Structure 1
Amino acid sequence: MNIDPNRSTFFVTPHWKRSSETWILRMIEVLHPHLAAIVTRHSKERHYLGIPVLPCYDKRRPFEFLLQRFNLSKKTPFPSIVDHARKSKVPTKLLINYADFAIKTRSSWDPFPGDVFIHVHGIDFQLEARSDSFPYKTIRTPAYKEAFLDLSTRATLIANSEATRKYLIKEGVKDSQIVTKYFGCPMPEHRPEPRTLPLKTDFKLLYLGRLIDFKGPDMTIQAFDLACELGFEGCLTIAGDGSLRQACELIARRSKYKDRISFAGEVNASQAKELYQSHDAFITHNQTGPLTLRDEAFGVTFIEAMSYGLPVLSTLSGAISESVIDRETGFLCEPLDIAQQAKNILNLSQNKEQYRKFSIAASERIKNHFSLEMEKQQLFDILNLKN
């Protein structure tokens, strides 16, 4: 396996095949003509889209891939990324996903002679965040915050939203060291457009995401219950897994409308597409997590749902209002206001013309502002790559 000397960018990520991280694969796909290698913790694959896949450490020599020559097999030696960058025919870049991974491996990549970019995503930069399984102390130590702030003296930080950018500045990162890049998603190949309002009893709400406090699956069920009390006749699907799974199932079983609430569990990308196609609106009740103190840094599922023409019912929390436009592509209420969200459910499900307008606007917003082509152009501009 040889690293192409004419390719400029190394894509570093601790993991890349999780069902909740399809956006990583999309980034790799749009960057692949320029990727010299994908560097990850573990991978059985040795190539992806023709790109070498390098394990970033082995049990004998952790993270030495960036500092010295090492063997991926007993027979064939491979140059380190640092050595490759020094010999490269083109200016090289290092794109690292997740600040915590960048901090853990910094001593290894610090000698890299090219430009370094660190894409932050959520829990890696929300410095007051707590674990949903043990919410009694912050995940990050004071030393982590110091190391995080020091990253920006060595690398450019890529924020996934303006809300993230503002948070980074508030924590002490210089504005000049931050660039904002939104995620993009593909438009579905087969989708009825525009969507039409189904019969009242056929209206299907979809929650798809991790079952964690700041996404509000428990309050989504409560809002659904209240909407049913007001006359909503549709159903709710909860897709995803997480620490609130048991609590959500308990709330659902105690509901008078339990027969209209179903749980799909964790789903892969293919199953998610089927859910988007078979449902009529996307719903969450985001908030600052009362346990985790986390907020929605961007929310990829929002743009995925909108690409299928699903209007969104959610809240004015985190970065959601950067993708969802209130009263244009859906309804956004204040966090914790389940009474208003219940009214929004009823309103959307009973107004045929409004539903049609929201559906068309949702699809158009993704096409015009969050397409894969737009993400590609943003990445190329940030990394100074040529089309």
Structure 2
Amino acid sequence: MIDGHRGNRQTVTMVGTSPAAQGGVAAVVRALTSSVLSNRYVIDYVETHAEGGTLLKLAIAVKAWVTLQFRLLTSVGGLVHVHIASRASFWRKCFLLLPALAMRKPVLLHLHGGEFKVFYERESSTLAKHVIRYVFEAAAGVIVLSTGWKQWVERSFPRSKVRVIYNPAPDVARSAYVREPATLLFLGKLGEKKGVNDLLRAVAMLVPEFGEIRLLLGGDGDVMGANQLARKLEIVEYVEFLGWVSGQRKQELLEQCAAFVLPSYNEGLPMGLLEAMAYGMPVVTTPVGGIPEAVTDGMEGFLVEPGDIDALADRLARLLRDEALRSEMGTAGARKVSSTFAMERIIPQWVALYSEHGIAPAGDPGKANG
């Protein structure tokens, strides 16, 4: 029987995609579950999704439902911390959470993904909107990644209880990296929504001036479409498709490339962006989602409107021409991460939130001690 305690640590049932999966949500899950948070609480993780075929995904979803219901019926106290995004991610979690909400168990919805507004406002039927609204307003709390998302959730679901907790950036031992002066890095899911096609067109505009330019695209998604566009633009020799990168290879890229580029149309608070800033890279990105809370235009990098290819090319050219500017913005970005997004800044906020819902950290049965 799971009694809500192990030793003097209390149990948090965390629900979400496999920590071994690709993408930003899995990166946040890995960051939280490998942090000091796991020393303060027992985190029982329930996987709802993993890479693989339809039968495997179905088996994982069924197992997750059975596991969570068992824990809900047998545990004393505790709470459920669920990572959700839009579309299939939401409906998988909804199927799991409705019994928990019906039993009045404390549920914290941790909202990821930059397209939830599109999913709710444009893609959901009237009935689906009622279900989504019920889940958000019945939850004990909704955690979002920026003040902009907080305002939207509060407008859309007025009875919800919303709090902003930023994604945590990795701890990085800064050093004097030797960077390749004309190499740009993109990390994420390749496709139009992340602005990859815009980025390829901007690079094509830069090739005449910067003959040594290289664009490294790290990620899965529409690789074939991006490759075809690069060929059409006659820049294939300047573009390298890396596939999904992680671990030591990812660290090397963050240490070696001149600038990070993410011209997305929708975002939450992208982990790749925070990682690049932590490594002292200047960034060129868009003012969507939580990005403006991490990047001030002209300080840690440049912000351009989604789809403005001319502006994207112009800001990249400014960085490629000016090593001192790249260094200055990179230093500002690392400083911003340290002051606002570092793990030591974020974890106490989770401890305080868990404590508010009756889950005290180890060594403090009465309250959170940060």
Q: How much has 1:66 moved relative to structure 2? A: 4.2
CA distance in 2, matches of 1:66, 1:235: 47
Q: Which amino acid aligns with 1:39?
A: V
Q: Write out aligned runs for 1:161-176 (5 A).
A: 161-174=146-159
Identity %: 21
- TM-score of the aligned structures, taking structure 1 as reference length: 0.78
2:216 alignment partner in structure 1: 237
1:76 alignment partner in structure 2: none
Query: Compared with structure 1, are the counterparts of its residues 355 and 268 closer, same or farther at alpha carbon in structure 2 (3 Å cutoff)?
Result: closer
2:65 alignment partner in structure 1: 63
Q: How much has 1:2 moved relative to structure 2? A: 6.5
Q: Write out aligned runs for 1:1-387 (5 A).
A: 4-5=5-6, 6=8, 7-20=10-23, 21-30=26-35, 31-33=37-39, 34-41=41-48, 57-58=62-63, 63-68=65-70, 80-85=71-76, 91-98=77-84, 99-110=90-101, 112=103, 114-122=105-113, 125-128=116-119, 138=123, 140-155=124-139, 156-174=141-159, 177-189=161-173, 191-193=174-176, 202-231=181-210, 233-242=212-221, 244-287=222-265, 295-384=266-355, 385=360, 386=368, 387=370
CA distance in 2, matches of 1:65, 1:161: 32
**Conservation of the 8 A alpha-carbon contact between 1:197 and 1:349:** no
CA distance in 2, matches of 1:109, 1:123: 26
SS in 2 for 1:229: coil
CA distance in 1, matches of 2:309, 2:209: 13
SS in 2 for 1:126: helix
CA distance in 2, matches of 1:197, 1:123: 31
Unaligned runs of 5+ in 2: 51-59, 85-89, 361-367
**Conservation of the 8 A alpha-carbon contact between 2:11 and 2:43:** yes
Q: How much has 1:15 moved relative to structure 2? A: 2.6
Moved more, 106-115 or 146-155: 106-115
Query: Compared with structure 1, are the counterparts of its residues 63 and 318 closer, same or farther at alpha carbon in structure 2 (3 Å cutoff)?
Result: closer
Q: Which amino acid aligns with 1:220?
A: L
CA distance in 1, matches of 2:284, 2:168: 20
Moved more, 348-357 or 216-225: 348-357
**Conservation of the 8 A alpha-carbon contact between 1:208 and 1:239:** yes
Pick the structure with more helix per residue.
Answer: 2
SS in 1 for 2:128: helix
Query: Compared with structure 1, are the counterparts of its residues 128 and 2 closer, same or farther at alpha carbon in structure 2 (3 Å cutoff)?
Result: closer
CA distance in 1, matches of 2:308, 2:293: 20
Q: How much has 1:14 moved relative to structure 2? A: 3.9
Query: Compared with structure 1, are the counterparts of its residues 228 and 66 closer, same or farther at alpha carbon in structure 2 (3 Å cutoff)?
Result: closer
CA distance in 2, matches of 1:246, 1:363: 34
Q: How much has 1:172 moved relative to structure 2? A: 3.0
Query: Compared with structure 1, are the counterparts of its residues 230 and 173 closer, same or farther at alpha carbon in structure 2 (3 Å cutoff)?
Result: farther
Q: How much has 1:233 moved relative to structure 2? A: 3.5
Q: How much has 1:217 moved relative to structure 2? A: 0.6
**Conservation of the 8 A alpha-carbon contact between 2:281 and 2:326:** no
1:49 alignment partner in structure 2: none
CA distance in 2, matches of 1:92, 1:120: 20
- Tell me the C-alpha RMSD between the 2 structures: 2.7
Q: How much has 1:163 moved relative to structure 2? A: 2.5
